[in-house]
Amino acid sequence: MKLNILLGVSSAATQIEGGGFSHTWSDWYQKGRIKDGSNPANANDHLYRWKEDIDLMSKMGIKIYRLSIEWARIEPEKGKYDEEAVLWYRRLLEYIKSKGIAPLLTLHHFTNPLWFESLGGFAEPANIQIFLGFAEYAVRKFSDLVDEYVTINEPNVFAVMGYLNGVFPPGLRSIRMALRVQSIMAVCHIKAYDLIHKLRSELGYKNTKVGFAHHARVFVPKSSTNLWHKLCSALVSRIFQGAIIRACLFGDFVFPLKRYGNVQRGEYADFHGLNYYNRSTISSLADGVRKDAYHNDLGWEIYPEGIGICAGELYKMLKKPVYITENGTCDNNDSFRSRYIYDHLKVLADSGLPVERYYHWCFTDNFEWCEGESARFGIVHVDFKTQKRTVKNSGRFYTAMIKNNEITGEMLEEFVNRQEYHK
């Protein structure tokens, strides 16, 4: 199978850097809300091992890398910026580029500075300008090194997990607040999209690309003949992803979202950033997993066909290139990850869609939010006690795909054919 897709990896600052900064996830740890008690102040110690990690990335042949910056590091107090933190990120980006790796920079990936959270975070429309102030500062500081930006990662997941399910900070359970946060984050994306293009044009930079990373799933009714199941499936899909994608792509705020601020209808993405992991089977106004389905170590259904369905739906809405900004699986023993990667890439290769990039989530095992260190998604194993990095079998498969720009029968035999999903 020929691969006409650039293969790279993704990460998020909070999940790899460590350092104990004053943000919502360090606070969540202090409140005892991490399942295995892991401290994000440790994470992967990337704060000090960044050269080692980028060297390993380069050795594995990776040419594209999606990473994020930690807002709480760069702006530890409102309006006060840490130039040492900026210099650290500049060194990192310069080193990434020196290795022939192209960065895709995410401005917000699930984590707020505590001072911003104390002002209401993304639940307050007045804070839109605060986020835009940070975005402008970051783009000014990094535009000579970065041409491509993700404004916000998974605003729907951020809102649902933090304001409806209560398992992410701030731990609320309110559908009203979850919808409010989705609406405000959509406005933040739209305004940041315009700001980045305007600012980089004024600074004389070209080739600017801006998008957001949309978490999409396939939602299906548990019973195709049960009217209640069908209604719930449609409603959950609309609340979780249908409305916010229209808002972020077009500035079109439809039920159940609300327009905050002066945003015009238009087009607000230069590429589709798609984060895809699983399918949800719905029988009520809650998430569900199909009985007897293949699943990963977190119980998420493995449904490779869904990545093509979701990518196709996005492309149908707006004819822009598709970047798979995240796709991967929790496989703590690396027993089926190579098959998972192959099955999803095959769906994309057969789809006929303009999928230009695939960023595997993630490069190294890391601090996996409320799961802590217990859920391993990486193609590189991390011993969290010693911080030793070891390339997994799936990492060797990934390197072979990049090197050969195809998946041969010999590669399938070595890495994929003997792997099986579990139920």
Q: What is the mean pLDDT of residues 57-82?
A: 98
Task: Provide the pLDDT confidence category of residue 261 given band limits of 50, 70 and 90.
Answer: confident
Question: Residue 260 maps to which CATH number?
Answer: 3.20.20.80
pLDDT in the model for residue 255: 95
Dihedrals phi, psi of 220, to nearest 5 degrees? -135, 145
Taking a C-beta distance cutoff of 8 angstroms, is the pair 211, 269 a contact?
A: yes
Instruction: Please give the single-letter amino acid code of residue 286.
Output: A
Q: What is the mean pLDDT of residues 251-280?
A: 96
Query: To the nearest whole percent, how much of the chain has pLDDT over 90?
Result: 99
Q: Which of these, 357, 351, 352, 361, lies nearest to 308 by C-alpha position?
A: 351
What pairing do the DSSP bridges indicate for beta strands 6-10 and 355-360?
parallel
Q: Examine residue 169 and state whether it is found in any structural domain, yes or no.
A: yes
Burial class (CB in 10 A: 0-12, 13-18, 19+), 152: buried
Q: What is the mean pLDDT of residues 373-394?
A: 98
Taking a C-beta distance cutoff of 8 angstroms, is the pair 322, 272 a contact?
A: yes
What distances in angstroms separate CA 371 from CA 35, 165, 168, 367, one per listed residue? 5, 15, 11, 8
| 338-369 per-position pLDDT tens digit | 999 999 999 999 999 999 999 999 999 999 99
Task: Provide the pLDDT confidence category of residue 186 given band limits of 50, 70 and 90.
Answer: very high
| 280-337 per-position pLDDT tens digit | 999 999 999 999 999 999 999 999 999 999 999 999 999 999 999 999 999 999 999 9
Q: Examine residue 253 and state whether it is found in any structural domain, yes or no.
A: yes
**Average predicted confidence (pLDDT) for the chain:** 97
| 210-248 per-position pLDDT tens digit | 999 999 999 999 999 999 999 999 999 999 999 999 999
Parent domain of 153: 6-416
DSSP 8-state symbol, 239? I
pLDDT in the model for residue 403: 97
Q: How far apart are CA 179 and CA 163, in angstroms?
A: 9
Q: Examine residue 422 and state whether it is found in any structural domain, yes or no.
A: no
What share of residues in the chain are helix, strand, coil (percent, to 5)?
45, 20, 40
Strands (E), 1-123: 6-10, 64-68, 102-108
pLDDT in the model for residue 340: 98
Q: Examine residue 421 and state whether it is found in any structural domain, yes or no.
A: no
Q: Examine residue 1 and state whether it is found in any structural domain, yes or no.
A: no
Total domain count for the chain? 1
